[in-house]
Amino acid sequence: MEPALYIVATPIGNLGDISRRALEVLSGVSCIAAEDTRRTGQLLNGEGIKTRMVAYHEHSAPQVAEQLASRIADGESVALVSDAGTPTISDPGYRLVRVIQDAGLRVVPIAGPCAAIVALSAAGLPSDRFAFEGFLPNRGEARRRRLEQLVATDATLIFYEAPHRILATLEDMQSVMGADREGALARELSKSFETIRRASLSQLCDWVREDANQSRGEIVLLLSPARAEQDTTIDPALGELLVGMAEHMPARQASKLLAAYSGVRSRQLYDFLLERRGE
């Protein structure tokens, strides 16, 4: 094959989704740079591919990328694969791409599955504009701050999430974005237990809370775009309750608690408190 770095998308679940071109590349390159050589090895063994592999992942030293670039410069060809899906998407492979490009060498993308796009295609949410946010912060406070920054985004938002955090993330989304904000949960895409559900955030929270199976496997979360115009007024009775709560706890905590009760966004309640205190 021509000397180049080939970005090869591999199946996210169903092995039948691998393309003929991807198999030709994986069979023909000099070596495969894999995020997890054991997982990629299972795919290669199933297809009878004997191409040798080298590990390239988040913790690889910069010298590994330089060595791969040198091999391509010497006339070899290298394929880059991730655990599943399209490499460099929420994946450290982009660093290798930069090294190859900066060396004046060729980078060739081999099209294939990407969990974010697969989920978007079946979510039933607007797809004319979307923003991929990858993984949210692990810790609750940092996660809520990031969601507050995204609350007014007028595009469908796409996230990856770990199974053990899915309920906490949905609850934070409900608190920050509002209980009625529409979302979608796509789980185990292209696998035997594939599940795709579109509903309000409050309904998704209840569903995951009541069914432990929804906290398993690979998960993509999507949120509908913010409404172009939202009513920012707070019901007087709700406002007085919020003010009273804020006398006994921090404003953010009061806003979060009342948001879960009322369905009003916690950021909207928090801004109301700040305005009241500034009067």
Q: What is the average per-residue pLDDT within 66-76?
A: 97
d(CA 206, CA 170): 10
Alpha-carbon distance of 40 to 44, in angstroms, equals 6
Of 50-59, 180-189, 257-266, the poorest mean pLDDT is in 257-266
230: its two tokens: 């939202």
**Least confident among 2-6, 49-53, 99-103, 262-266:** 262-266
Place of tokens 């991929």: 132
| pLDDT for residue 229 | 46
Which tens digit of pLDDT belongs to each residue from 207-236? 999 999 999 999 999 999 997 545 567 888
Q: Would you say 251 and 276 are in contact if contact means Cβ atoms under 8 Å apart?
A: no
**Percent of the residues in the chain that have a pLDDT greater than 90, as a whole number:** 77
Residues in contact with 238: Cβ distance below 8 Å, sequence separation at least 6, in sequence order: 258, 262, 264
Average pLDDT over the chain, rounded to whole? 93
CA 221 remoteness from chain centre:
7
> Do β-strands 219-223 and 156-161 pair in parallel, antiparallel, or remain unpaired?
antiparallel
DSSP strand E in 88-225: where? Answer: 107-110, 130-135, 156-161, 182-187, 195-200, 219-223
User: Contact at 8 Å (CB) between 9 and 21?
Assistant: no
DSSP string, 125-161: S--SSEEEEEEPPSSHHHHHHHHHHHTT-SSEEEEEE
Which token pair is 23?
């198999």
* 12 CB-near residues (< 8 Å, 6+ apart): 84, 85, 113, 114, 115, 118, 189, 190, 218
Residue 258: per-residue pLDDT:
87
Is residue 113 very low, low, confident or very high in pLDDT (cuts 50, 70, 90)?
Answer: very high
pLDDT at residue 90 is higher than 90: no
The predicted-structure confidence for 21-62, as pLDDT tens digits, reads as follows 999 999 999 999 999 999 999 999 999 999 999 999 988 889
What confidence score (pLDDT) does residue 279 get?
57
Q: What angle separates helix 93-102 from helix 62-73, to the nearest 10 degrees?
A: 50
